[in-house]
Structure formats: C-alpha cells, structure tokens
C-alpha cells in the first residue's frame, strides 16, 4: 500500500511540475513578446505621443456668457437646490446638465442675492435654499 501512495504522490508531483513549467513558459513567451513590441515601437518613432495630440479638443471655444445665460442657469441651479437641499455642487451639476465649473458663477450670484446659503468648504460645500 505504501508503494501505491508513493507512486501516486510522485505522479501528482510530476503533473504539478509539468503544469507549472508550461505556465512559466507561457509567461516567458508573453514577456518576450511585450519587450519586442516595445522595442519595435521605440524604433518606429516616439513611444509617447506629443502633448498636442494628447489634449482633447474643446467642445466650443471659450466665451463670456451673457447675463441672461447666467440668470437662466442660476434659476435652474436654484430649482435643483430646492429639490435636493444639502447636496454638493457635483450633484447639482448632474441635475442641471452642466459641469461644476460652469455653475461657479451662478452659485455666487445666488449666494450674493441671499437665496442660497452654504455650509462647509471646498469640495465639501453643501447648498441650502433660504426661505423667501
């Protein structure tokens, strides 16, 4: 019985070693292929794109918004603040459909008019409507 167990253990050890060797050979082949591809790219040209091609084009040229546009955006922001008091600007940006940076000026207008109060600082700022 001991010889059967020994031979079974030996067979199992050989199978595990074979699987391990095959796995290591595949890993080595993949690593060699990656190194060769890297050298091919480096010899073909710059491996890194230039900064000009990296930057995404702007969707529209920057321009100053009119006071009517700021006022309309302020109203949309105020409605969002009334619907979801105590949220951050990123939540309101999603509700209004613009970026948080685009809401910076309308939020300042609402605070100066006394229609909105804020609690917190920077990214933790929460916005609440004031009672009218």
Domain 67-129 has CATH 3.40.30.20: no
Residue 23 has pLDDT above 80, yes or no: yes
d(CA 9, CA 16): 10
Q: Give 112's pLDDT tier (boundaries 50, 70, 90).
A: very high
Q: Where are the alpha helices (DSSP H) in the chain?
A: 2-44, 51-54, 67-83, 89-96, 104-113
Q: What is the mean pLDDT of residues 43-72?
A: 70
Q: So what's the pLDDT on residue 54? A: 54
d(CA 32, CA 26): 10
Copy the structure tokens of residue 98.
């613009």
Query: What are the sequence ranges of the domains in the chain?
Result: 1-45, 67-129
The residues facing 126 across adjacent strands are 119
Q: So what's the pLDDT on residue 39? A: 83
Q: So what's the pLDDT on residue 59? A: 59
Note the pTM of the prediction, 2 decimals. Answer: 0.53
């Amino acid at each position: 019985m001991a010889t059967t167990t020994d031979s079974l253990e030996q067979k199992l050890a050989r199978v595990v070693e074979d699987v391990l060797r095959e796995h290591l050979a595949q890993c080595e082949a993949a690593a060699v292929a990656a190194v060769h591809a890297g050298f091919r790219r480096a010899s073909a040209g710059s491996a890194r794109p230039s900064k000009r091609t990296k930057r995404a084009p702007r969707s529209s040229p920057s321009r100053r918004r009119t006071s009517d546009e700021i006022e309309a955006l302020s109203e949309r922001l105020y409605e969002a603040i009334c619907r979801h008091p105590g949220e951050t600007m990123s939540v309101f940006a999603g509700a209004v459909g613009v970026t948080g940076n685009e809401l910076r000026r309308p939020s300042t207008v609402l605070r100066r008019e006394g229609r909105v109060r804020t609690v917190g600082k920077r990214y933790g700022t929460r916005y609440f409507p004031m009672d009218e």
